[in-house]
């Protein structure tokens, strides 16, 4: 019988600090991963993601949150526009 392990979630600040061990302090990826308590593969992925965020290829957490908020707002505004369009068509018929 096997037990499922729970997946650990790391905060963005933690990931940036772990990446800084490699990029700024000269740790090897394996040593830095050991120090922060994750795998080398995780740390490699975090390094890649951070480089993509910095170059603009990938959205950061703040940008992703803002994009989601803007998408919800656009959806709401489109719905309101459709309601107003139908209402104006209704009242135009009433006036004839």
What's the mean pLDDT in 71-84? Answer: 96
- CA 84, CA 77: separation in Å to the nearest integer? 10
pTM above 0.85, yes or no: no
pLDDT tens-digit map of 30-76: 999 999 999 999 999 999 998 888 887 788 888 889 999 999 999 99
pLDDT of residue 3: 59
Taking residue 53's Cβ as centre, other Cβ atoms within 10 Å add up to: 16
Judged against a pLDDT cut of 50, whether residue 94 lies above it is answered with yes
pLDDT of residue 55: 82
* Residue among 27, 7, 9 at smallest CA distance from 18: 27
* Residue among 47, 48, 40 at smallest CA distance from 17: 47
């Amino acid at each position: 019988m096997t037990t499922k392990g729970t997946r650990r979630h790391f905060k963005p600040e933690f990931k940036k600090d772990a990446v800084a061990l490699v990029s700024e302090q000269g740790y090897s990826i394996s040593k830095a991963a050991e120090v922060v308590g994750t795998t080398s593969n995780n740390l490699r992925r975090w390094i890649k993601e951070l480089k993509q965020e910095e170059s603009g290829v990938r959205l950061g957490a703040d940008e992703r949150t803002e994009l989601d908020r803007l998408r919800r707002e656009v959806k709401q505004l489109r719905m309101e526009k459709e309601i107003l369009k139908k209402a104006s068509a209704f009242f135009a018929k009433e006036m004839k």
